[in-house]
Structure 1
Amino acid sequence: MTIPIGPEGLHDNSELPPLTMFGPDFPFAYDDYVKNPAGIGSVPQEAFGTRVAVIGGGLSGTLVARELLRMGLRPVLYEADQIGGRMRSVEFEGHPGVTAEMGSMRFPPSSTTLFHYLDEMGLSTTPFPNPLADATSSTVVDLKGDKHFARTIDDLPDIYREVADAWARTLDEHAEAQALTDAIRKRDVPAIKAIWGDLVKRYDDVTFYGFLCQSDAFARFALREIFGQVGFGTGGWDTDFPNSILEILRVTCTAADDHHRGIDGGSQQLPVRLWSTPVEGAAHWPAGTSVQSLHDGGVPRPRVMDLRRTHPDNFTVTDKSGRIDTFPSVVFTGQGWMLLNTIRSDERLIPIDHWTAIERTHYMGSSKVFVLVDRPFWKDIDPETGREVMSMTLTDRMNRGTYLLDFGDDKPGLICLSYTWADDSLKLLPLDATERMDLMLKSLAEIYPNVDIRSHVIASPVTLSWETERDFMGAFKANLPGHYRYQQRLYGHFMQDRLPPEFRGFFMAGDDVSWTAGWAEGAVQTALNAVWGVMNHFGGRTPEGNPGPGDVYDDIAPIELEP
């Protein structure tokens, strides 16, 4: 079970400060940084209007572009598909406001920097119906043909409580979880650095599964099996078992897996609004200027095909239309693998060790299947049991996780028939949307034999497997054992005063660069790193009393492991 916290990301004891995604690798207060009324930085007047290419129009790219505009620079955004990236919300024709979240769909309140921008863009959130969450009326756990109905964990058989207790005990005994969480709450940087530094040294080469196996609490295989298939928080964890345990500890000790909220109207609204909403009070630019308004026709430039360094210190970009343009700086926010295959990339963009880090990147695949139904029929009460006819479902069948999304009794409902990762996602690749729907309905019919889900379906299913998307090749990065050094290189790349001059001016941001890949907060934080890097590249600075991530980097930098 993840570290217990109360509503809105607060510990049950309201006297304690909120648990946020403050570190642990780089404990910098990004939320305080962006909220400071003095702003996050400025560039010299002679740099006003300087064009900076921003490649990728997801959350990180649109945020970079917006903050560069605020400083008086001129971002030029390239986007291969559509504004949003993995914040992709699909609407059903004739049913506005009912959106299928094909990528990011749930956000922990501990993502405080993300929530700053949600607030700035006027977006609201509501609790997301995770298994056994307060927002979830009921949950059904179906394993090996045995079905259990529950409103809380106490409604499940004792072995599930035993699994939850084993996880809590393992975290505390082998990862100093409570001490680390307390330090993160208090933003006690020395304590965080001491505890996390020790954990990195101990566990860099250990898988999630290996971490469980070293614990006496998980000595029984049956407990590890149930934990992998069901887990607690968002569901099963076994698709993460081959990944580094450090990836999991970053999630549990920052409450990234707790009390999730969905963005009303769809998550894609955030990058779209960052792109289209005027930036008030921007340096150099007149009132009403938005990133979008700086682009011909109000659309981003198309897919980047070629990216290279050119004399003296410039970057030349060729896009799909054949247009060739040159910039003094570039921010790349796409998946790193694109620099290896879909974009012809100059090897001089980054040092060889950084290329190695990109080549070693490990992505998690992910698939979703959604159907639109005529109403939230799952709230109907079965006269025989007195319970809802259908519940949020965790199962070892092909669905793995089935989520019920209610937009109101008088509106259609939405069912995420299946949300899977890694090997479970690969099992679906040969199937089209209808075949996937049929497979999931077959599995659910075994769990709910008296519920005719198909009779409620009113639109064609929608599906997406991120590993087959040309511009992503995976849902998100997940480091394997031994990858810490690679991650450190990519994350710290924005600190370019320590790079040879010939490698400066090109910045990376986004999911691949983040310590918390798969969470939007990481995309936001790395975007702010890149903005600081560009600002510094053009001779800018942060205001007095509000140092940026680069100003304090050496004091709180991620630990370095021996080569």
Structure 2
Amino acid sequence: MSFITMPHGFIRNKTKAKSTSFTPASMIDVLYDYQHFLSTNEKHNGTIAQSGPESLKRIAIIGAGAGGLIAAYELSKIANINVSLIEASDRLGGRMDSIYIADGDLNDKVFEMGCMRFPPTSHTLYYYLNKFDLPTTPNFPDPGIVNTKLLYQNKVIDWPANSATPINADFERIGHDFSNMVVYLLGDVNNPNITAPSKLFDYWHIYQTSPTENNKKQVVSAWQTLINQYGTTSYFDAVYSLAQNSEIVSKPWTQEDMNKFGALGVGSGGFDPIYNVNFVEVLRLFANGWEDNQELVLSGIGALVDALSDSLNEHGVEVQLNSKVTEIAKQDGKYRITISQECGDNTVEYYDAVIVATTTRAMELMGLTLKADVYDEYPILHQSAKTSIRNLHLMNSSKFFVTTASKFWYAANNPTGLDLPFNIQTDELMRGLYCLNYDKDLDDGRPNTEGKGVVLISYVWGDDSTKILGLSNAERYQQFLLAIKEVDSTFANLLENQTEKIDVIDWESEPHYHGAFKLNYPGQEQDNHAAFFQYQAKEQGVFLAGDSVSWAGGWLEGAMSTAINSACAAAAYVGATVADNSPLTEIASHMYKYDIPPKGPR
């Protein structure tokens, strides 16, 4: 599902990066260091607030995914704040959804049904992983990182490990051309030009080295130029236009070149299903360093859920599972929440502030976009936030996992005596296959080839997910095997003979989620802006959080950064004194212009 891991020289691996390379310390759309804010206040007084409210206040958090858990964790440490975490499903974690399979004395094997790849530039996420001593490993088997086979138009193409592109003249040309496109737009991340800056990475590197207001303005101007140019442009249209520029590409791309690029994509997933999304969303992946150096959590991301859950229990947070919120209204200065219980009964509870940390579709289904109570002096949400909830696009996604009796792709575990592909990418229904090893490497650095294997047989997005929705698990499995057999019959036979446990998820049909992750369509940057900065709205006690309202849809960094925003806002609303340099004061909503067309200087 992907054929270019990153543009040439883009890899930010700690052991490979040049001393002159650039690594962002923040997300480009906020230029704010959440990790620094959290670590500074953790050392100072252990919370994001200097002091709590004068009297006991109740805050409800709706949705127990990453955003809800982090908001609850941070608020639960503030004096005089009583937190209730309300979750519609029967578990905590949301799309941090790890299914564990025991494997004797070895590590449990993990099906990461939701989040599974974690770029180290997700600084807020890594703050919490480090806080709870949860190790990661850079061994995620993305294509081109490990030995990969491609099936494109019924032809098998080799893609050796640690190679920038498959061994094919067209793919090599397309890969080189796209590398040039990214450098043309953003600059060279491994060698920023600080003497004669002209690109985003040049200015951003200078700003991180010398964080003056003037240097910041240069970064903002560079990113604003890209927003203005591509904010209403689809990914397909942008790439095709750039691919006609003889100063960038070796020769103009054809429709077949676009088919090849779309079928095998960039980094970690095929991009033709998202050819219709906003190109600025794609540029964010590269600007923020999310598409390379991805790691996995050896104990599964569910270990972070467990650690946060234990902490919430220690801090007396009330957790309500199987509790679906159907209405939020204002009454007598409080927020009235109506909850539908699993037994069928409805209950009503009152809170001083509310954080809604669900997908935007779940927000809409609980009535947040409907007309405010006529007795409210202030609406639950301003119209711009309601519009963003209605408009923002959620991508669908499906995964198909199996455990196998052995890690048969290693030479020691199969009759060929050779390593088989660790990754298979195709233009067929299965699209992308990943062989996963959740056991620690041996002391000598070699992989531990003992125990069960985990194979993510299929990971698909968008229309590729829709195509298989009507198929049963057995039907999907057989369809996927047909494609795998075309690539490597030995691999397919071993997989079929050794398959044990199977688990499948379709996030668009999963109750209470209704989609996998946010990706803006062209023209939705202004909706994203309204949703993200809703936490700064005045005279409101309801605040939005989650990756669906973030600048990082599909990444835990988005959910966690918006959780910090909403936790600070809710704490301040109920009378706490939030710590200095918080997102309430240090992220300027007017820093960029996302309007269509831009409405002039701000």
TM-score, normalised relative to structure 2: 0.84
Cα deviation, residue 466, structure 1: 0.3
Q: Which of these residues, 512, 532, 545, is aligned with residue 491 of structure 1?
A: 532
Q: Distance between the aligned counterparts of 1:506 and 1:464, measured in 2?
A: 31
Q: What stretches of structure 1 of length at least 5 have no aligned partner?
A: 279-288
Which residue matches 1:416?
A: 456
Q: How does 1:63-78 map to 2 (within 5 A)?
A: 63-72=70-79, 73-78=81-86
Which residue matches 2:168?
A: 157
Q: Indicate whether 1:25 and 2:29 are aligned.
A: yes
Q: Distance between the aligned counterparts of 1:308 and 1:315, measured in 2?
A: 7
Q: Distance between the aligned counterparts of 1:67 and 1:239, measured in 2?
A: 37
Q: Indicate whether 1:204 and 2:238 are aligned.
A: no
Which residue matches 1:453?
A: 494
Please list the CA deviations of residues 148-197 of structure 1 after superposition, one character each: whole Å capped at 9, or x if unmatched. 22222366122222111111222233455752234444535322211111
Going from structure 1 to structure 2, the CA distance change for 1:86 and 1:128 (only over 3 Å counts) comes to farther
CA contact (8 A) 1:509 1:526 kept: yes
Which residue matches 2:443?
A: none
Which residue matches 2:442?
A: none
Please list the CA deviations of residues 193-242 of structure 1 after superposition, one character each: whole Å capped at 9, or x if unmatched. 11111111111110000001111235323322221111332142211210
- Please give the secondary structure, in 1, of the residue aligned with 2:350: strand
Which residue matches 2:396?
A: 365
Which residue matches 1:270?
A: 304
Q: Which of these residues, 291, 314, 317, is aligned with residue 294 of structure 1?
A: 317
Q: Which shows bigger deviation, 142-151 or 455-464? A: 455-464
CA contact (8 A) 1:488 1:558 kept: no
Q: Distance between the aligned counterparts of 1:334 and 1:388, measured in 2?
A: 43
Going from structure 1 to structure 2, the CA distance change for 1:334 and 1:235 (only over 3 Å counts) comes to closer
Q: Distance between the aligned counterparts of 2:188 and 2:519, measured in 1?
A: 21
- Please give the secondary structure, in 1, of the residue aligned with 2:320: coil
Cα deviation, residue 49, structure 1: 3.8
CA contact (8 A) 1:401 1:418 kept: yes
CA contact (8 A) 2:121 2:288 kept: yes
Going from structure 1 to structure 2, the CA distance change for 1:183 and 1:532 (only over 3 Å counts) comes to farther
Q: How does 1:435-514 map to 2 (within 5 A)?
A: 435-451=475-491, 452-497=493-538, 501=539, 504-514=540-550
Going from structure 1 to structure 2, the CA distance change for 1:145 and 1:549 (only over 3 Å counts) comes to same
Q: How does 1:114-153 map to 2 (within 5 A)?
A: 114-134=125-145, 136=146, 138-149=147-158, 150-151=160-161, 152-153=163-164
Q: Which of these residues, 265, 270, 277, is aligned with residue 231 of structure 1?
A: 265
Which residue matches 1:284?
A: none
Q: Which shows bigger deviation, 51-60 or 147-156? A: 147-156
Which residue matches 2:382?
A: 351
Aligned length: 539
AA in 2 matched with 1:558: Y
AA in 1 matched with 2:450: D
Please list the CA deviations of residues 259-314 of structure 1 after superposition, one character each: whole Å capped at 9, or x if unmatched. 10011121122123112126xxxxxxxxxx635x433xxx4343233222232321
Q: Distance between the aligned counterparts of 2:223 and 2:16, measured in 1?
A: 21
Which residue matches 2:349?
A: 325
CA contact (8 A) 1:10 1:17 kept: no
Q: Distance between the aligned counterparts of 2:117 and 2:482, measured in 1?
A: 27
Which residue matches 1:376?
A: 407
Q: Indicate whether 1:13 and 2:18 are aligned.
A: yes
Q: Which of these residues, 530, 541, 544, is aligned with residue 566 of structure 2?
A: 530
- Please give the secondary structure, in 2, of the residue aligned with 1:153: coil
Please list the CA deviations of residues 368-411 of structure 1 after superposition, one character each: whole Å capped at 9, or x if unmatched. 00111001111127999874233311111111100001244221
Going from structure 1 to structure 2, the CA distance change for 1:244 and 1:346 (only over 3 Å counts) comes to closer
CA contact (8 A) 1:33 1:40 kept: no
Cα deviation, residue 494, structure 1: 0.6
Q: Indicate whether 1:57 and 2:64 are aligned.
A: yes
CA contact (8 A) 1:381 1:389 kept: no
Which residue matches 1:404?
A: 435
CA contact (8 A) 1:496 1:533 kept: no
Going from structure 1 to structure 2, the CA distance change for 1:511 and 1:225 (only over 3 Å counts) comes to same
Q: How does 1:327-342 map to 2 (within 5 A)?
A: 327-341=351-365
Going from structure 1 to structure 2, the CA distance change for 1:428 and 1:9 (only over 3 Å counts) comes to farther
- Please give the secondary structure, in 2, of the residue aligned with 1:414: strand
Q: Indicate whether 1:214 and 2:241 are aligned.
A: yes
Q: Which shows bigger deviation, 506-515 or 24-33? A: 24-33
CA contact (8 A) 2:76 2:317 kept: no
CA contact (8 A) 1:373 1:459 kept: yes
Please list the CA deviations of residues 482-527 of structure 1 after superposition, one character each: whole Å capped at 9, or x if unmatched. 1011111001101123xxx3xx000000011101100111111111
AA in 1 matched with 2:436: L
CA contact (8 A) 1:11 1:18 kept: no
Q: Distance between the aligned counterparts of 1:172 and 1:334, measured in 2?
A: 36
Going from structure 1 to structure 2, the CA distance change for 1:83 and 1:183 (only over 3 Å counts) comes to farther
CA contact (8 A) 1:127 1:259 kept: yes
- Please give the secondary structure, in 1, of the residue aligned with 2:108: strand
Going from structure 1 to structure 2, the CA distance change for 1:175 and 1:120 (only over 3 Å counts) comes to closer
Q: Distance between the aligned counterparts of 1:316 and 1:442, measured in 2?
A: 54
C-alpha RMSD of matched pairs (Å):
2.5
Q: Which shows bigger deviation, 2-11 or 188-197? A: 2-11
Going from structure 1 to structure 2, the CA distance change for 1:343 and 1:459 (only over 3 Å counts) comes to farther
Q: Distance between the aligned counterparts of 1:383 and 1:83, measured in 2?
A: 39
Q: Distance between the aligned counterparts of 1:338 and 1:155, measured in 2?
A: 41
Q: Distance between the aligned counterparts of 1:181 and 1:553, measured in 2?
A: 20
Q: Distance between the aligned counterparts of 2:47 and 2:594, measured in 1?
A: 28
Q: Distance between the aligned counterparts of 1:180 and 1:389, measured in 2?
A: 41
Going from structure 1 to structure 2, the CA distance change for 1:301 and 1:161 (only over 3 Å counts) comes to same
CA contact (8 A) 2:233 2:522 kept: yes
AA in 2 matched with 1:62: L
- Please give the secondary structure, in 1, of the residue aligned with 2:583: coil
AA in 1 matched with 2:292: D
Cα deviation, residue 11, structure 1: 7.1
Going from structure 1 to structure 2, the CA distance change for 1:466 and 1:209 (only over 3 Å counts) comes to same
Q: Indicate whether 1:98 and 2:109 are aligned.
A: yes
Going from structure 1 to structure 2, the CA distance change for 1:342 and 1:438 (only over 3 Å counts) comes to farther
AA in 2 matched with 1:126: T
Q: Distance between the aligned counterparts of 1:377 and 1:343, measured in 2?
A: 50
Please list the CA deviations of residues 441-462 of structure 1 after superposition, one character each: whole Å capped at 9, or x if unmatched. 1211111123313444342411
- Please give the secondary structure, in 2, of the residue aligned with 1:420: strand
Cα deviation, residue 79, structure 1: 0.9
Q: Distance between the aligned counterparts of 1:60 and 1:199, measured in 2?
A: 29
- Please give the secondary structure, in 2, of the residue aligned with 1:118: helix
AA in 2 matched with 1:524: M
Which residue matches 1:286?
A: none
Q: Distance between the aligned counterparts of 1:249 and 1:189, measured in 2?
A: 19
Which residue matches 2:285?
A: 251
Cα deviation, residue 133, structure 1: 4.9
Going from structure 1 to structure 2, the CA distance change for 1:383 and 1:417 (only over 3 Å counts) comes to closer
Which residue matches 1:282?
A: none
Going from structure 1 to structure 2, the CA distance change for 1:257 and 1:45 (only over 3 Å counts) comes to closer
CA contact (8 A) 2:38 2:48 kept: no
